[in-house]
Amino acid sequence: MNKVDHIVINVDDKYQKDKKMIDMIQQNGFPYAPKKGKRTKGFKISNLWIGKEYLELVNITQKDGGGWKKDWTELYNRGTRGAICLMIDVSDIDSVHQSLLDKAFDVQTPERIEYKLFGLFKVSSLWRNMYLPYFEKEAFQIGFQQLDNEDISEKFQKKMIPNSISHKIMGMTKIIINGKWTELDFNMIENTFRNTQKEGKSLKIKLNNGSDIIFVENNDFSLYIEMDNHSLQSKSITKIENVYLVNN
């Protein structure tokens, strides 16, 4: 496995419209520009860029989701807010897919995202995604993504603006995911990722780029994301639904 790509978060529209909320995020070192991002008649997305990773903040504006992922739209309509998916960037999604099939996981074939802009123009993504099943007791899953080629990756990086790098917050170093994890959940993680370590009620994944993902058993579901922060002036904790951005 390569690295964290992004985290998908269902949000109320205040995170895209409320000036006080937007100002709070910006003042904590994240130059957030909520008016940028994908838009259709059914959803609005705002990206919060943190180095080469990001938070994808999703507000569903019509019940059908306007082409957004069906199960995520259904979760939104049922009132689920907060993190719903951790997306991992991989270099060979077909190999990951085959490996999971060999281990009897129920995963669909990697596919592109397709939606219509304003109900008129059909757009297909320049990457393919696939997803693990949802965890047993949490409305949360892990997904995998592969861009079509390196040129696309370089073009995307140029669009990752405004970015917290301008405030010396360089990226995510550790993600702690609290939740009601089961033995089957931990078994799924251990069978999916190569470098894992179980310690008591927690399970750590070590990614290729050195960052850690730690699943911790807890009755309350939440994510704590620790930052590679080079600025002494931007130490803070920023809360977006059940996701906490921690500047150490």
| pLDDT of amino acid 179 | 99
| pLDDT of amino acid 120 | 67
Q: What does the block give as tokens for 202?
A: 């927690």
| pLDDT of amino acid 116 | 66
pLDDT, mean of residues 27-40: 90
List % helix, strand, coil for the chain (3-state, nearest 5): 25, 40, 35
| pLDDT of amino acid 53 | 95
Per the model's pLDDT, the better-predicted residue between 228 and 248 turns out to be 228
CA angle 168, 170, 175 (to 5 degrees): 130
Q: What is the pTM of this model?
A: 0.93
Cα gap 17→2, rounded to integer Å:
34
pLDDT at 12 over 70: yes
pLDDT at 59 over 90: yes
Place of tokens 């270099």: 91
If DSSP states are collapsed to H, E and C, what string results for 21-65?
A: HHHHHHHCCCCCCCCCCCECCCEEEEEEEECCEEEEEEEECCCCH
CA atoms within 13 A on the CB side of 242: 20
pLDDT at 234 over 70: no
pLDDT, mean of residues 26-44: 91
| Residue-range domains of the chain with CATH | 3-247 (3.10.180.10)
Cα gap 150→42, rounded to integer Å:
31
